[in-house]
């Protein structure tokens, strides 16, 4: 599993002109499911996101987690994170998961993050989405679940 997380002041996702998910302070998470991803990848990623200390404390140091600040998560599926751009000029998406499998794991991932006490909003899997992000910092991180 691969994600890009951005610390945000606010973020929203729109589909066909309708806002389907919106958060204030928290993390906008762009998530990609690989064909080899398992339940343990989802568990690892959910725990990492909830506890990663990327919010500033009173001294201005990144020392607080999403849980510590009471923030929310906007989780958007984005298979293009798994694109291979090493050869040619057009990305190859053969490394992305089967859509049916990926959607099932994506939905379970939403549930796992919420089960950690984090308010979760989300986009619509497979839809053409517009994501509005007010990045705080800016602070952007790329995480990949460890190989099994």
pLDDT digits (tens, 9 = 90+) for 68-115: 999 999 999 999 999 999 999 999 988 887 899 999 999 999 999 999
Q: How many domains does the chain have?
A: 1
Q: Is the pLDDT of residue 140 over 70?
A: yes
Query: Would you name the residues annotated as active-site residues?
Result: 78-80
Tell me the pLDDT of the chain averaged across its residues: 95
pTM over 0.85? The answer is: yes
The confidence score (pLDDT) of residue 98 equals 87
Q: Distance of CA 55 to CAs 19, 62, 89, Å?
A: 26, 5, 37
Domain of 14? 2-88+97-144
pLDDT over 90 percentage in the chain = 94
Read off the CATH number of the domain in which 34 is found: 3.50.80.10
């Amino acid at each position: 599993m691969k994600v890009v997380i951005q610390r945000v002041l606010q973020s929203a996702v729109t589909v066909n002109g309708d806002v389907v998910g919106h958060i204030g302070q928290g993390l906008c998470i762009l998530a990609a499911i690989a064909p080899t991803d398992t339940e343990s990848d989802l568990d690892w990623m959910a725990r990492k996101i909830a506890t990663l200390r990327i919010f500033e404390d009173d001294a201005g140091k990144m020392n607080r987690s999403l849980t510590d600040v009471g923030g929310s998560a906007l989780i958007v599926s984005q298979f293009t994170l798994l694109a291979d751009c090493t050869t040619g000029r057009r990305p190859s998406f053969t490394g992305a998961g089967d859509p049916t499998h990926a959607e099932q794991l994506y939905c379970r991932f939403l549930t796992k993050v919420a089960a950690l006490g984090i308010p979760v909003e989300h986009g619509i899997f497979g839809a053409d989405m517009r994501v509005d992000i007010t990045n705080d910092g800016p602070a952007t991180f790329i995480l990949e679940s460890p190989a099994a």
